[in-house]
Amino acid sequence: MSHPVLNERNVLVIGQRLGPVAQEAMPAARLEIAGAERLDLPETLHDAIELILIDVEAVDAAVLTGVINALAQRPNAPAVLMAGGHLPTALVKAVMRLPKSDFLEAPFTSVDLGRAAAAMLAEAPAAAGAPHHSRCWTVMGSVGGCGATTIAVEIATELARRVGRDRRVALVDLNLADGAASAYLGSTPNMLLAEASATPERIDQALLDAFSMRVGAGLDLLACPRDPKAFTRVSAMAVCRVLEVACQVYDHVVIDIPRHHQAWTLDVLAGSDEILVVSELTVPALLAARSLAAEIEAELPDGAQPRIILNRLASRVFGPAPSLAEAEKALQRKADGGVTSDWEAAAASANLGGAISQHRPRSKIVRDISVLVDRLMAPANAQRGRAA
């Protein structure tokens, strides 16, 4: 059946295999059928194109992610319908930034394709220039105990304070076996990811609501109950799906990620807008941070640059701790932020259950986190430099 809403519409079809199905699905549309090379110059995708149908198997995922990111910047971005199989998280995140996008899982018929395309073009235009853009920041420690969880908790709390009640922030603890975020926040971990791993496609907003715990105004925690076998029981699909849905539901997603690589680690890092590598000011931690940052840069294809955050900086340096200049020499790069040491505030808040900003709002940790969040929120082209 042909849908009248598709008649005379300008549709670009990428992938020769998809051509005949599209012709059958929308016989009266103005179709241009092309191969993947049509996407090589995204600027030639003119504004008259209303819908782009893409066979995801016909196009390199990294190229496609770049094209989608470029389209999402446009004031009149076309609707995009992805047809095919598994999509990497970075691509899904890019697609989510478009005002109108959808996925059609293979196998599908021309009827399915026509229905999905018609639904997209029939929709009222999205609210003027306001696609949902969630920001995802991932925090990783260079060594155990250097403060990654503390910093992730404080960043998430500070974001929730800033954005107010109506826009939502999630802290996702991916230390699946023994994450500490729920204990630090005095909350209950409720994300049953091992159980959800059998049917990851069923992870949706409703399930995420059931998994999440409200830990203060505007902040939800997604954390797993303690389970020593969690890393073998939870599938990569389930982790990626939770993050996809979280990025649709929340405006900010902060991830506390273990430093040992899991099957999903690179997917999570590739889908993150910022990667924060936390280190303390000891030589072993600095050397580990340097290696970790270099490994991330080598493994992520599109020029990701992790930021180094130095934690537990002493106001006065006691004993043989490296100075900031020495630390940066060991790191072979500049640090992007620093958090002062305040054991009393950190321990008291963890013992009481809640953020340091809640129990010790005047701690220097809170001030330093606020400076860091300012820096991360600055426009993407802001110059990088060392925190004051």
Ligand X SMILES: Nc1ncnc2c1ncn2[C@@H]1O[C@H](COP(=O)(O)OP(=O)(O)O)[C@@H](O)[C@H]1O
Q: Does 312 help bind ligand X (rule: CB under 6 A)?
A: yes
From the list 34-42, 44-52, 97-105, 148-156, the region that binds ligand X by CB under 6 A is: 148-156
From the list ligand X, Mg ion, none, which binds 144 (C-beta under 5 to 8 Å, kind-based)? ligand X
- The one-letter code for the residue type at 58 is A
Q: Does 339 help bind ligand X (rule: CB under 6 A)?
A: yes
Q: Does 318 help bind ligand X (rule: CB under 6 A)?
A: no
Element (H, E) at 195: helix 193-196
Q: Which of 69, 89, 101, 150 binds ligand X (CB under 6 A)?
A: 150
* Residues in contact with 67: Cβ distance below 8 Å, sequence separation at least 6, in sequence order: 39, 42, 45
**Dihedral angle, C-alpha 295, 298, 300, 301, nearest 10 °:** 180
Least distance in angstroms from the C-beta of 333 to ligand X: 20
In this structure, are residues 85 and 54 in contact, taking their beta carbons and an 8 Å threshold? Answer: no
In this structure, are residues 254 and 355 in contact, taking their beta carbons and an 8 Å threshold? Answer: no
Q: Which of 77, 83, 180, 268 binds ligand X (CB under 6 A)?
A: 180
Q: Does 141 help bind ligand X (rule: CB under 6 A)?
A: yes
- The one-letter code for the residue type at 222 is L
Residue 28 in tokens: 């009266």
Q: Does 185 help bind ligand X (rule: CB under 6 A)?
A: no
In this structure, are residues 286 and 321 in contact, taking their beta carbons and an 8 Å threshold? Answer: no
From the list 18-26, 138-146, 208-216, 261-269, the region that binds ligand X by CB under 6 A is: 138-146
Residues that bind Mg ion (CB under 5 A): 148-149
CA 170 to chain centre: 11
Q: Which of 87, 169, 342, 376 binds ligand X (CB under 6 A)?
A: 342
Least distance in angstroms from the C-beta of 227 to ligand X: 18
Q: Helices marked H in 125-180 — which ranges?
A: 148-163
| Residue 12 vs 181, nearer CB to ligand X | 181
# residues contacting ligand X (CB under 6 A) = 19
| Residue 191 vs 310, nearer CB to ligand X | 310
Q: Does 281 help bind ligand X (rule: CB under 6 A)?
A: no
Q: Which of 194, 239, 365, 369 binds ligand X (CB under 6 A)?
A: 365
Least distance in angstroms from the C-beta of 347 to ligand X: 6
| Residue 220 vs 256, nearer CB to Mg ion | 256
Element (H, E) at 141: strand 135-141
Q: Does 350 help bind ligand X (rule: CB under 6 A)?
A: yes
Q: Using CA atoms, how far apart are residues 110 and 72, in angstroms rounded to an integer? A: 27
Q: Using CA atoms, how far apart are residues 41 and 247, in angstroms rounded to an integer? A: 28
Q: From edge to edge, which strands make up the β-sheet containing 101-105?
A: 30-34, 10-14, 51-55, 79-84, 101-105
Residues that bind ligand X (CB under 6 A): 141, 144-150, 180, 311-312, 339, 341-343, 346-347, 350, 365
